[in-house]
Amino acid sequence: MSRIPHTAGRVAMVSEHASPLAALGGPDAGGQNVYVAQVARQLARKGYRVTVYTRRDAAGLPDRVTLIDGVQVVHVPAGPPAPVPKDELLPHMTEFGTFLARQWAQSPPDVVHAHFWMSGLAALAGARELGIPVVQTYHALGTVKKRYQGDADTSPPQRLAVEEAVGHECARIIATCSDEVAELKAMGLPEDRISVVPCGVDPDQFTPGARTRPPGARRRR
């Protein structure tokens, strides 16, 4: 298992279906897109050089786009250059990982941060032979989805096994809350390699406001 360096000037982020450039509101465009974009922005503002790798989902997309100074988004050719539901992307992760391995052999990052279970699979494939440490954030777990959706769960049948394998191989797991830690431990993943980092809040968009009472509400004395 690779060790995470204490100082990492170059960070690769892998987000196979959730591009930080995507318009929000689609079936597979929401919280993870915002999370990836904001983490990349904040790392860049602290002086890191960040490259986000996401799948090319349209033929006309450029190979590389600048999000802000210090953050580049690379569109990875993996599968058709067209929208594909995320639950159908698993067969294209080998191609995604092969692309990463070629890129990183030429210019290796100091650390890789993978987002979602399939991104972890591709990231480890790209980093394994190069000894680059991979940090994993799941964003959602197959065990939880299966528990609450049952037969309505459209995840690939390999999801649970892949999530567990990724968790055992990666250098660190970032959980977003203590409940997720409990789920990860139940999967047999080592607690000493799990860190809780809660999702942040953008204070420029979400700030406490003056308390207001609903119309007709009586003041308490």
CATH code assigned at 92: 3.40.50.2000
In the structure, what pLDDT confidence band is assigned to residue 167 with cuts at 50, 70 and 90? very high
Tell me the residue range of the domain where 55 lies: 10-196
- CA separation for the pair 133, 109 (Å, rounded): 9
Q: In a 3-state reduction of DSSP, which class is residue 153?
A: coil
Residues 6+ apart with CB under 8 A from 44: 50, 68, 69, 70, 71
In the structure, what pLDDT confidence band is assigned to residue 37 with cuts at 50, 70 and 90? very high
Mean of the pLDDT values across residues 187-212?
85
What's the first-to-final CA gap in the chain, in angstroms? 62
Mean of the pLDDT values across residues 114-122?
98
Mean of the pLDDT values across residues 2-16?
79
Report the chain's mean pLDDT, rounded to a whole number: 90
- Predicted confidence (pLDDT) at residue 24 exceeds the cutoff of 80: no
Number of domains in the chain: 1
pLDDT number for residue 221? 47
Q: Is 104 exposed, middle or buried (0-12, 13-18, 19+ CB in 10 A)?
A: buried
205 within some domain = no
1 within some domain = no
Mean of the pLDDT values across residues 15-27?
79
34 within some domain = yes
4 within some domain = no
- CA separation for the pair 14, 7 (Å, rounded): 19
93 within some domain = yes
